[in-house]
Amino acid sequence: MAAAGNYGMPTWERKMRIFLCVFGLILSVYALHVELSRERNPEYRAMCDLGESVSCSKVFTSRWGRGFGLVQFFVDQDSALNQPNSVLGIIFYTLQLGLGLSVCKRAALFLVFSSWVSVAGSLYLAAILAFVLGDFCMVCVSTYIVNFALLYTNLKRRRALEGVKEKSG
């Protein structure tokens, strides 16, 4: 068994979670920066805009860049509920980091559930990216990878906590 670090969790898990969440936060903050910069200045060119079909700003400013392109069907496009996907990412990675430092079984269950939701969202947005927008967004694909890695990390945590229950029960 891996050595347990702080908070009673394996050291590898703690380091991996911190790395993934911080990387996810950086990607999300950058995505928000690109979207806001592009809204202020339509001529803005982001570092991740490498060509016509490799353009993150094109993706972030598309209809699917806010509320997964779905929220606008329920509220006005300018509603406070129709946030950029990057804001949702900032909230998600912050929750993953904060709750991930807890060894509580409820927190582990929430982490797994929210990771499954993020992976479902990633698959949906990847399909939009490939089949609707016909674009490749390095920032987007990187967040999809982070989301899958967090799901794996959270499933390992959940199994480890269930193993503790079985051993002590």
**What mean pLDDT value characterizes the chain?**
89
pLDDT tens-digit map of 16-35 = 999 999 999 999 999 999 99
Answer yes or no: is pLDDT of 5 > 50.
Answer: no
Structural domains of the chain ordered from first start = 8-164 (1.20.1440.130)
Phi, psi of 163 (to 5 degrees): -65, -35
Looking at residue 2, the DSSP 8-state letter turns out to be P
pLDDT tens-digit map of 90-139 = 999 999 999 998 888 899 999 999 999 999 999 999 999 999 999 999 99
Which tokens in the block code for residue 107?
């927190």
